[in-house]
Amino acid sequence: MAVGQRVLEVAAFPRAGRLARVREWWEQEHVFGYGLILPALLLIVCLVAYPFGMAIYFSLSDYWVGSPGQFVGLDNFREIFKNDVFHRTVYNSFVFTSIAVLFKTLLGVWLALLLFRTFKFKRLIRGAVLLPWVIPTALSTLAWWWMFDSLFSVVNWTAIRLGIISPPGPNWLGMTSYAMTAVIAVNVWRGLPFFAIIVLAGLVSIPREYYEAAEVDGAGSWGRFRHVTLPLLKPVLAVVILFSTIFTFADFNIVQVLTRGGPVNTTHLFATLAYQTGLVGGNLGQGAAISLFLFPMLAAVVFFQLRYIRRE
């Protein structure tokens, strides 16, 4: 940069003409501004917007891996709607997202309140609690997979020893009634730190005076939480819940590693079904159509976010 600068200055001296004009042109606020966002804009157009257009095109064609297909209109969607596996996936996605987000919210607020109290090993505890969010999800899910093993499950071993269940205990990942519970548990485990840390930031920003005022008015700890903390936390909670909703809805890693959508498709989400259909099965057209079902949820979240931000 410095070299280029010097060259520019030296060159500008004898022929003050063109280079100086280029420099003057570049120094204009709008030219400089557009220039700086150009690389990011190109990236977004070529590798986000264009692929999105392609996804729509794929969904309207009979495109298979290795053979560019023809336009078939809404055939893919018609087929999907007739497919029982897809119905199950829609049901799974809503169950998975609503229960996981609900637990993450409740436990997240509770954990944030606990973290907010001054502890001796504050930094250590925060570090430990945030760890599941930082470690590669696919790898930590491998540990969960082992913990839910059909024969050697440590969860069952513990529960049997404590007398909570009778041996051999449920086959977590192999039985339709338990697999969803397992997948949700891992998602909550992984997403809880995100909630807790952000809600904690919200708690820190609440002025102490409000609590003191509430105390003077005779509010107990529940009263203070109900009438001071919760209302002031609402904006932060709204953002966190919206964020988490879209990323939980679009989850892939946990289900892919833990159950691959099984048993009998009871844990398939849109992303895993799209992967199964589009890449494993090779039917890109239908796979793209399935993954596009993530879009309405994304649109809804974006809509709320933008409205919310604009109001600020």
Partner 1 sequence: MIVGVRSRGARLRSAAFGYANIIPFVFFALFPFYYMVITSLKNDAELYNLKAVPFLIETGVITDHYWYLFFKTEFWTWMKNSLIISVVATSVSLVISTLAGYSLARLRFPGVNSFGTAVFITYLVPPTLLFLPLSQVVVWLGISDTIWALIVTYPTFLVPFSTWLLMGYFRTIPREVEECALVDGATRMQTLLRIVLPMAVPGIVCVVLFGFTLTWNEFIYALTFVSQTANKTAVVGVTADLIRGDIYYWGSLMAGAVVASVPIVIVYVLFLDYYVSGLTAGAVKG
How near is the Cβ of 17 to partner 1 at its closest, in Å?
A: 18
Least distance (Å) between residue 33 CB and partner 1: 4
Question: For residue 263, is the peptide bond before it cis, meaning its omega torsion is within 30 degrees of 0?
Answer: yes
Which contacts of 67-70 are long-range, i.e. CB under 8 A and separated by 24 or more positions?
69/285
Radius of gyration of the chain (CA): 26
| DSSP category for residue 49 | I
Question: Would you state the structure tokens that stand for residue 182, as one six-digit string?
Answer: 């397992």
* Residue 140 beta carbon to partner 1: minimum distance, rounded to whole angstroms: 6
Helix (H, G, I), strand (E, B) or coil at 158: helix
Q: How far is the CB of 220 from partner 1 (least distance, A)?
A: 14
Q: What is the DSSP string of 33-78?
A: HHHHHHHHHHHHIIIIIHHHHHHHHHHTBT-BTTB---B-TTHHHH
Q: How far is the CB of 218 from partner 1 (least distance, A)?
A: 17
Cβ pair 192, 106 in contact under 8 A: no
CA–CA distance, 294 with 246 (Å, rounded to integer): 8
Least Å from the CB of residue 298 to partner 1:
6
* Residue number, 137 or 266, with CB nearest to partner 1: 137
**What is the closest distance, in whole angstroms, from the C-beta atom of residue 105 to partner 1 in the complex?**
14
Tokens for 23, please give them.
């420099």
Alpha carbons within 13 A on the beta-carbon side of 291: 24
Closer of 15 and 161 to partner 1 (Cβ): 161
Q: In terms of CB distance, is 41 or 102 closer to partner 1?
A: 41
C-alpha torsion 199→205→208→211, nearest 10:
-40
Cβ atoms of 197 and 130 within 8 Å: the answer is yes
Report which DSSP code applies to 149.
-
